[in-house]
Amino acid sequence: MNDKLKKFLSNLPAVSVPDKKLDLKTKMLWTFVIVVLFIVMSFVPLFGVSKSYSLSFEVLQVLIASHFGSLLSLGIGPIVSASIIIQMLQGTKIINIDTATKEGRVTFQGIQKIAAFAFIAIENGVYVFSGALTPAGPGIFFPLVMFVQLFLAGVVLMFMDETVSKWGIGSGISLFILAGISLQLINTAFNPFVTPIGAIPSIISAFIAGIPLNAVFPIITVISTVALFAVAIWLQSIKVELPLSFGRLRGYSIRWPVSLFYTSIIPIVLIVSMVAGVQFFGLTLSHMGINFLGTFTTESTTFGTQSVATGGLAAYLSPPTIQQLYTSAVTTGITALEIESMIIYTVILVVGAAAFSYVWMFLGGQDPRSVVKQLMESGLSMPGFRRDERVLVDIFKRYIIPLAILGGALTGLVAALAAFLDTLTEGIGILLIVMIIYQFYFSLQQDNPDEFKPIKDKLVGNTME
């Protein structure tokens, strides 16, 4: 890479790094300000969008922290897409930058930023000019105005993410996803002013009206949401601890944890994104009169008015909820398409998440060989075994690969169950909330342990004498 390009990448606009280590209070303040700004942007409607525009694809909104029809119609989607592609290119050595050096990190971050700018422009352009976002009137004026708003909002969101990473707590991307899902949970659980109303007001109104049967499915929704949260928290806590010791320091040993969700949430995000992508582009093509990926109709669901697939590949990737199955059973009868879509959707999520987990393990440098190499470079070895890379790789393979595949499959199963039980948020949303909160917890423990410990003690009821 020539010097001019390196200089250009290093001079790209960026959020400055703090001159000193920030205290927890300052980090929390910056995090709070960014969250408030994100929420405000997600509720500011686009100028030029049709008033008849209806929300679609709830799962996409969960994944990319978006609110269709607002300034954040595509949320973090372009930023995440750019980051994943650049990391995959780096992992496969198509671009080979030494991120161990300061110069290499600056160059790599510059490439990511250029890619983010490009993806913000391209994805928002496709979204607006394809007709997926209905303009308020004919001609090019309204689509062009919407594109400019979305592009500028996407750039602002990119710098907000960078601000959180340098001045706040954890990752900005994770924070935006958590905020988006939390707002959705509050809305679907408690909001009495939407149609259909939230689950809790629906239960209360059913009993007040003397029709308790109308409260059955809202109750199932609430209970299944709480149950799946409990399952996700339990699965997140499962891990295998491998004993390691420092060769130069006798008697000093540590335990290296291998979590059941070894590759985190990335595999299920990828497979759910692919499924949602088929539905999204199917709807976009349908608007253009091309029913290659499926046919669609507008229906009222738990989350409001949405476009629902009724035929083609998109329909097989849109399983019915338990309430829809009951309605079919007592009216026209459960159709073959409903049963087939449930099976196909579950199999695709379970097998796809397991496969992506295995692949991502290698792309992300988390495979047994890469892990063992890093541990040995740090002077660590396993007690009772020769300090030989091949021996340790064989041992780590017994744990890492099965846990990565099993963990991926279980995330797919949880997401499929949540879709069937019609939880207050998508199954992927439940998993994301649990994993992101864990990330924030460990980030606070690692970066500000002295300030965080008293807060943690108060939360768990342990007061220091």
Output the tens digit of pLDDT for each of the chain's 465 residues.
Answer: 567 777 777 778 888 888 888 888 898 899 999 999 999 998 888 888 876 555 555 666 776 777 778 888 888 888 888 887 887 787 777 777 776 677 777 788 888 889 999 999 998 888 888 777 778 788 888 889 999 999 999 999 999 999 998 898 888 888 888 888 888 888 888 888 766 678 899 999 999 988 888 889 999 999 999 999 999 999 998 998 888 887 665 656 778 888 898 888 778 888 887 887 787 777 777 767 777 777 777 665 444 456 677 778 888 888 888 988 988 898 888 888 889 999 999 999 999 999 999 988 887 778 888 888 888 887 777 877 777 788 888 889 999 999 999 999 999 999 999 989 988 887 788 888 888 888 888 888 777 777 777 776 776 655 443
pLDDT at 248: 62
In CATH terms, the fold of domain 24-190 is Preprotein translocase SecY subunit (1.10.3370)
Instruction: Identify whether the C-beta of residue 441 lies closer than 8 Å to the C-beta of residue 197.
Output: no
pLDDT at 302: 45
- 33-40 contact pairs (CB < 8 A, 24+): 34/160, 34/163, 34/164, 34/168, 34/172, 34/175, 35/175, 35/179, 37/160, 38/65, 38/72, 38/157, 38/160, 38/175, 38/176, 38/179, 39/179, 39/183
Helices (H) then strands (E): counts for the chain: 17, 5
Q: How far is CA 270 from the centre of its chain?
A: 9
Q: Where are the domains of the chain?
A: 24-190, 236-445
Q: How far is the C-alpha of 286 from the C-alpha of 294, rounded, in Å? A: 7
CATH dotted code for 236-445: 1.10.3370.10
This prediction has a pTM of 0.78
pLDDT at 463: 43
At 364 the three-state DSSP class reads coil
- The helix or strand, by DSSP H or E, that contains position 408, with its residue range, turns out to be helix 389-421
pLDDT at 464: 41
Q: How far is the C-alpha of 425 from the C-alpha of 6, rounded, in Å? A: 44
If we measure between CA atoms, which residue out of 238, 175, 178 comes closest to residue 429? 178
Domains 24-190 and 236-445 in one fold: yes
pLDDT at 147: 93
Q: How far is CA 180 from the centre of its chain?
A: 10
pLDDT at 195: 66
Q: Parallel, antiparallel, or unpaired for β 295-301 and 253-259?
A: unpaired
